[in-house]
Amino acid sequence: MMKHFQKPGVQMGLLAVVVALAVTAFYLSKRPGQAVNAPPPVITKDGQVVETAPETLAVEDKKIALGEDRTSRTGTDQQVERFTVPAKKPPPPTLISTGRNETKEQQAPPPYPVLVHVTNQAPAPFVATEPKFFAPRGMLFKAALVITVDSSSLETPVLALVTEDVYWNGRLIVPAGTQVHATAAKGRVRDRIEVNGQYTFIWADGREYSINCVALDHQRLTDGSYALTDGSAGIRGQIVKDDQYAELKILVAEALQGLMNNQQDQFQSIYGLVPQNTNRNAALGGGSQAASAYSGLLTKKLGEDLDYVRVPAGTQFYIFTKSVFEPDLASVGGLRQGNKPASSWELAEETYQRAQAEASSASEKAAKLGDATRKAEEQKRTAERAARVSSLVNTSSNSAATPNPSSRTSP
């Protein structure tokens, strides 16, 4: 086959065919196409096709008033109504990015209506609000003791009065004469009594407000200046001793104990030096033990009762606030704070947590109730199905036991 195509005559014939096809295609492309709106040709009875010329619109001079419909007539008396431009429709939303640098603000989805209940919705986080009437932490309130305070191993009550009005931003925070209740710590540190922890301020009308504070020393000199220890921790008092010779007695008792131990007669044994079993050694040993017991007793009393700190009534000191002071939380009996030093945002957070816990418990109860209801319905449906099955079984068994009269044979 390929040998035939390689012949010059065959190749010339193929070339002639290709040229003829190209000329035909060029001729057909140059012919004018038929109009789309051309009238159809008329076919006569003899089968001849007669091409009709396209109708032309007749030009008509006509004055048209404002608001009238514009009409025109053609050779076939055809009326053309006024063309009305349709309203512009908005473009469809773009689903595919066109690559243009167009920035569109992403709008947040609309919130859920109030009547729509959304399950498994995350609770809103707690946001604390700023107090409107307050004093910042670190304020110094000047106060004075009403009762004398002694250091002891018991919880000693501290009763004081605020001696000067306290202002912040031009507003009165604590008026002078407000009572202050606190509790002194056990024991003492040098010549100081520590009063740290919960302080309760009681106004003249009986309202109470609790806050964490600490007592600081207040020492003002006669020339109007302040001493070096002014503002140091604790309330400065006087060291009181019931027995001024307690230390001397302890030293004498320890010395007698050592002397009596050395005066005992001893002998060498395999266990070392051992006191001899004599009346003299027995007396010296007993005296040594008595001196040791007396020395220990005096040492214990010296640390507890024989040496203590006394702060007399009328002593002035500072009250240093460790939290934000909010007088609006004051209430009768401290009911608003729950009788504890809590701030407004802590109370709000507790209320929020309580509401969340109640909501979760209510949802759990509803879920349990729904589960119980579904189980009861399933049990009811199961019992109904069992009853229907048993009734069908009984019906079929009764029909099988009853003989058919038509099947009996005649005698």
pTM above 0.85, yes or no: no
Give pLDDT, residue 59.
44
The C-alpha atoms of residue 350 and residue 235 are separated, in whole angstroms, by: 35
Closest CA to 315 of 184, 202, 201: 184
The predicted-structure confidence for 316-355, as pLDDT tens digits, reads as follows: 999 999 999 999 999 998 888 988 888 888 888 888 888 8
Give pLDDT, residue 409.
47
The C-alpha atoms of residue 296 and residue 320 are separated, in whole angstroms, by: 40
Give pLDDT, residue 90.
72
Give pLDDT, residue 193.
92
Give pLDDT, residue 162.
96
CA distances from 142 to 40, 105, 171, 219, 224 (A): 114, 58, 17, 11, 16
CA distances from 264 to 21, 252, 294, 295 (A): 150, 19, 20, 21
Query: At the fourth CATH level, which superfamily is domain 140-240+309-340?
Result: Type IV secretion system, VirB10/TraB/TrbI (2.40.128.260)
Low-confidence ranges of the chain (pLDDT < 50): 36, 53-61, 64, 66, 69, 71-78, 407-411
Give pLDDT, residue 311.
92
| Residue 331: both structure tokens together | 């209430």
Kindly list the domain boundaries of the chain, sorted by start residue.
Answer: 140-240+309-340, 246-304
Give pLDDT, residue 112.
62
Give pLDDT, residue 33.
55
Give pLDDT, residue 45.
58
Give pLDDT, residue 411.
40
Please tell me the number of Cα atoms within 13 Å of 258 on its side-chain side.
5
The predicted-structure confidence for 200-241, as pLDDT tens digits, reads as follows: 999 999 999 999 999 999 988 888 888 888 989 999 998 887
Q: Where are the alpha helices (DSSP H) in 270-343?
A: 279-304
Handedness of CA 363, 365, 366, 371 (dihedral sign): positive
